Structure 1
Amino acid sequence: MLRTVFLDLDDTILDFSLAEAAALRRALTEADVPADNAVLARYHAINAAQWELLEEGVLTREQVLLGRFDILFGELGLVRSAGEICGRYEEYLAEGHWFVPGAEALLEALAPRYDLYLASNGTAAVQYRRLESAGIKGYFRGIFISQDLGADKPSPAFFQKCFAAIPGFSRERAVMVGDSLTSDIRGGKNAGLRA
C-alpha cells in the first residue's frame, strides 16, 4: 500500500516557465540587456542544457547558476556580471508563483491520505520563499532540496538522504512524482522507487 509520495516542485506543482520568464525579463531589463521573447527562449535553452550537465555530474551548481548567464551574454556580445544578474533573477524568481493547473487540488486530495515530501533540485533560498508565497509548505511532512542535502537529483545520494530522514521509510510504499524524465523519474527508479 502506497504511503509516501515525493513531489517535485518546478513544473510539477508550480509553473516554473511562467515564473522564470517574469523574473528573467525583469532582471535583464534592469541590467539593460534585451529581454524580448527570442532572448528569453535562448536563455531557457541554455539553462536547460546547463541543468542537464549538473544532473550528469559534469557541472557544479555554482557553474550552472553563473554559466548560463555567461553563455547568454557571450552570445549577445555583452559584458555583464553573471553574479549580479543571477542574484537579481533569483530574488525575483522567489517572489512569484503560478500553479500548474490542478496542482492545488492535487495537494488537497493527497495530503490527508499520504505522507507528502517535496524533492527539489532548485536553489534552497528561492524554493523556500516560493513555497511560502504559494502557501503550500504545510502540505509537506518534509522538504528536501538538493542544495541543503549536498546532492542533486537524480543521484542516488539525494534519495538516500531523503530516505534516511523519514522514520520507518519503505521504498515499496513510496513513489516519486515529477515532470523530468531524467532527474525525477530516472532518479526515483534508480533509487528503487516507483516513479
Structure 2
Amino acid sequence: MRRYDFVLFDADNTLFDFDRAEHTALALALEEFSIPCTLQTEALYLSINGELWARLGRGEVEQEWLVVERFAALCRALGAEADPAALNRRYLERLGEQAFLLPGALEVCTALAPRCTLAIITNGMAVAQRGRLARSPLAGLIDRLFISQELGATKPSPAFFRPVFDALGITDPARVLVVGDNLSTDIGGGAAMGTDTAWYNPAGRPRTGEIVPTWQVTRLEELLPLVLPKA
C-alpha cells in the first residue's frame, strides 16, 4: 500500500547538504581568483546571496542576473577586480563537484524508488545540480531532475510545476507529495498545485506566515510511513 505515487524532492538542504557544498565550492572558486576566503568574506557572500535568492522567490529579479550579481556585489564590497561572470561560472562548476548527501537521503530514496516515481525539483543552476546528482548515489534512484534554469520559471510559480506534472504524467495532485525545506518555494508551491506537502525542518524552526504543510518532519526517514503506510 502507498499513499503517494509521486514524491517530488527539493534538492538543496533537503537531499543534498548544500551548506557544506557551498562552503567548499566558494573557497575553491575564490582561491582561483586570488580572493582570500576568510570567515568574514564567506559571511558577506552568504548575506548577499541569501537576499538575492529571497528577491527571486518574490519574483523581483531574474535568476540569470542574480547568479552574476551576487559575485559582482561581493567584489564591489571587497574592492576586488575579478570578473563576476567568470567567478560565477567557476563557482558553479566547483559546486557541481560537491555531491554531499544529508543523513537519510540515500536510505529513503532507496526504499521509495521501487514503489514511487521520484523526482528532484530545484531552483538551482543546471551545471551545479546535474553535476551533483550525477556524482551521487541518488543518480540511479531519481527518475527525473527538473531545474528552474531549464524550465524558465522558478518555484513556487505554477509555471514551474505545470511542466513537471506534464512530463511525469501527473493527473491527480492528491497522489503527489512535495518535500522541501523552504516553506515558501517548496511547501507553498506544492500546495498551490493541490498536492500534499512535507516540510523538512531538522532544526525545529517555528513556522511563520500563512503556509501550512500537510506534514512536518525533522528526519528524512519520517517520510517513509507517510508515503508507504502499513496496511
TM-score, normalisation: structure 1: 0.95
Q: Structure 2: 5+ residue runs without aligned partners?
A: 198-231
Hey, what's the Cα distance between the residues in 1 that align with 2:149 and 2:182?
A: 18
TM-score, normalisation: structure 2: 0.81
* Pairwise CA distance, 1:168: 4.7
* Pairwise CA distance, 1:74: 1.3
- Once the two structures are aligned, what percentage of the paired residues are identical? 38
Hey, what's the Cα distance between the residues in 1 that align with 2:150 and 2:189?
A: 18
Equivalences for 1:65-144 in 2 at 5 Å? 65-144=67-146
- Where does residue 23 of structure 1 map in the other structure? 25
Hey, what's the Cα distance between the residues in 1 that align with 2:127 and 2:90?
A: 13
* Pairwise CA distance, 1:15: 0.4
- Where does residue 36 of structure 1 map in the other structure? 38
Higher share of residues assigned helix: 1
* Pairwise CA distance, 1:34: 2.2
In structure 1, what residue type is equivalent to 2:148? Answer: S
CA distances 1:88-147 after superposition (whole Å, capped 9, x unpaired): 111111112111111111111111221111111111122111111113122122221111
- Where does residue 177 of structure 2 map in the other structure? 175
Q: Structure 1: 5+ residue runs without aligned partners?
A: none
How many residues are treated as equivalent by the alignment?
195
In structure 2, what residue type is equivalent to 1:28? Answer: L
Hey, what's the Cα distance between the residues in 2 that align with 1:12 and 1:169?
A: 25
CA contact (8 A) 2:106 2:137 kept: no
* Pairwise CA distance, 1:78: 2.0
Higher relative contact order (CA 8 A, sep 6+): 1
In structure 2, what residue type is equivalent to 1:123? Answer: M
- Where does residue 225 of structure 2 map in the other structure? none
Q: Which runs of 4+ in 1 moved over 4 A?
A: none
* Pairwise CA distance, 1:70: 1.1
- Where does residue 56 of structure 1 map in the other structure? 58
Hey, what's the Cα distance between the residues in 2 that align with 1:168 and 1:193?
A: 11
